[in-house]
Amino acid sequence: MRLLVVNDDGPPSTVSPYFAPFINALNEAGHTTVVVIPDRPLSWIGKAHAVGKTLTAASRCPASFSDKSCAIPGCDETEDRTHRWLVVDGLPASCTQIGLFHAGFNPSDFDLVVSGPNHGRNASTVYSLSSGTVGGAMEAAQCGRRAVALSFGSKEVQPDHVIHAACQRSVALIGDLVRDWHPDVDVYSVNVPMVADIAERPVSYTTTARGRWISGGLFSPVPVDPEKLALSRTYQFRWAPQLADIKRQAEESPEGEDLWASVNGVISVAPLRASFTSVDVHK
């Protein structure tokens, strides 16, 4: 298959540790990959675009993000988009747009758009509605292309063999989803637990748990001197997600939800439509 691959964690780094191994796994499986990614981590950005901003896309050899030399002869003289990545100073959904319309291909040239693998899970609406990974996939659906949002459920440093196994299992699962794609599905959101025996872990179709911020949210106030506050009348709030509610909801999540799968070592596949589903209030 020819795949457009985007993400929200940016180029390979300590905060984007799964991307390069995943691209290698796709290529080793015989797929053709076109990579368009943000130039920096942009989590929690959803499906946003920077309105009015002129975006810059740098053509980069993947080897430039590692300590290895490129094995492709004449790499510096070519603009082979199936080898060189486009690294964009824009948001994940914008990378999807650029990849589909401005990377030398038409949207119909791609069999699938894959967004990810995210560095951490995207289970429950608290995460998935804010996720740049899911947003990149939803943008593809809005452009008429099928998409998979792939998330690896761990922020902890993982050994190479676990990352390799997760990539291999994900590539195989993506192939299965494409072969049996349900006509009513726009995006499959897949969460893969990072465990040593991932090759043997079951796969379950799930719903997306309805997560809520209840006793705490994403921000905490920055302490300020009362006298300074009286003069400035300005307030600051630091990024400090309070996850107690989310952890409790995960522990209480019933079987069949993606949160339940994430705490039970099950690979979850949530079939999604790219729409805000209407509620019939007249029933």
pLDDT in tens, 45-87: 999 999 999 999 999 999 999 988 887 887 887 788 889 999 9
The percent of residues above 70 in pLDDT, for the chain, comes to 100
pLDDT score of 145 more than 80: yes
Encoding tokens for residue 57?
A: 């896309």
Give yes or no: residues 59 and 77 share one domain.
yes
Give yes or no: residues 132 and 230 share one domain.
no
Q: What is the CA radius of gyration of the chain?
A: 20
pLDDT score of 222 more than 90: yes
pLDDT of residue 107: 95
Q: Is residue 277 assigned to a domain? A: no
Q: Can you give the CATH number for the domain in which 197 is found?
A: 3.40.1210.10
Select the more confidently predicted residue: 81 or 21: 21
pLDDT of residue 57: 98
Encoding tokens for residue 228?
A: 């300074």
Nearest to 1 by CA among 31, 37, 44: 31
164-176 pLDDT tens trace: 999 999 999 999 9
pLDDT score of 127 more than 80: yes
* Average pLDDT of the segment spanning 265-283: 88
Encoding tokens for residue 248?
A: 């409790």
Give yes or no: residues 141 and 193 share one domain.
yes
Q: Using the CB atoms, write b or e for 154-184: b if 16+ within 10 Å.
A: beeebeeebbbbbbbbbbebbeebeeeeeee
Q: Is residue 225 assigned to a domain? A: yes
Q: Decide: 192 and 150 in contact? Cβ < 8 Å.
A: yes
pLDDT of residue 13: 96
pLDDT of residue 250: 92
Give yes or no: residues 109 and 82 share one domain.
yes
Average per-residue pLDDT in the chain?
95
Q: Is residue 120 assigned to a domain? A: yes
Give yes or no: residues 86 and 116 share one domain.
yes
Give yes or no: residues 193 and 233 share one domain.
no
pLDDT score of 280 more than 80: no
Q: Is residue 6 assigned to a domain? A: yes
Q: What is the pTM of this model?
A: 0.94
pLDDT score of 283 more than 80: no
Give yes or no: residues 198 and 67 share one domain.
yes
How many domains, the chain?
2
**Which range marks the domain in which residue 234 is found?**
216-252
Give yes or no: residues 130 and 229 share one domain.
no
Give yes or no: residues 11 and 135 share one domain.
yes
Residues in the chain: 283
DSSP structural state of residue 45: -
Give yes or no: residues 238 and 198 share one domain.
no
pLDDT of residue 158: 95
Give yes or no: residues 17 and 98 share one domain.
yes
Q: Is residue 267 assigned to a domain? A: yes
Give yes or no: residues 239 and 162 share one domain.
no
Going by C-beta distance under 8 Å and a sequence separation of 6 or more, which residues neighbour residue 86?
A: 35, 36, 37, 57, 58, 59, 60, 95, 98, 99, 103
